[in-house]
Amino acid sequence: VICNLRKSVVDNTKFIMQNNLDFETIKIGDSIPELVKAPITRTQLALFAGASGDHNPIHLDDAEAQAGGLSGVIAHGMLNMAFLAQVLTEWLPQTAVRSFKSRFAAMAYPGDIITCKGVVSGKNNESGENLLELDLLAENQNGEVLLKGSATVVLN
């Protein structure tokens, strides 16, 4: 385990250096690169249901979703949460993520294009680690916020 941890730290440092990410020059209010996902498809929802074990019919069957008071099938909340986490791991290696939290705000539907964003909201050094606090959000093509979140990442 120690070898794997050391390798992760080395890989993280190498990635940060190759991408010119410098803790000293990153400022509160800076944005991280956005992640724009392709439109959500029913096939994607069926595949996610299989992968996650969440076969709730509101994600797969319009009639069942409508019987539950919805206008039709909705995307899994956890799929949208995965997109929000992906905005972090597209920017930094997974090993850099120290914490990740999110709250659902609205539903996503087949055809929605999800854009995930992040802004640096804090910086500090704890136990020799350069930490960035990030405010995150995922919104649809109409600008409706689907998820709000936060994360702490290490940038050493």
pLDDT at 47: 98
pLDDT at 14: 53
Q: Contacts for 96-99 with beta carbons within 8 Å, 24 or more apart?
A: 96/12, 96/16, 96/153, 96/154, 96/155, 97/151, 97/152, 97/153, 98/131, 98/151, 98/152, 98/153, 98/154, 99/150, 99/151, 99/152
pLDDT single digits (tens) 31-49: 999 999 999 999 999 999 9
pLDDT at 5: 41
Structural domains in the chain, CATH included, are 2-40+75-154 (3.10.129.10), 41-74 (no CATH)
pTM of the entire predicted model: 0.85
Residue that is written with structure tokens 């994360």 in the block:
151
Q: Could you say which residues of the chain have pLDDT below 70? A: 1-19
Phi, psi of 93 (to 5 degrees): -60, 150
Other C-beta atoms closer than 10 Å to the C-beta of 24 total 8
Taking the C-alpha atoms of residue 150 and residue 99, their distance in angstroms, rounded to an integer, is 8
pLDDT at 8: 47
- Rg of the Cα atoms in the chain: 18
pLDDT at 21: 84
Cβ-contact 68, 56 below 8 angstroms: no
As given in the structure block, the two tokens for residue 13 are 């440092």
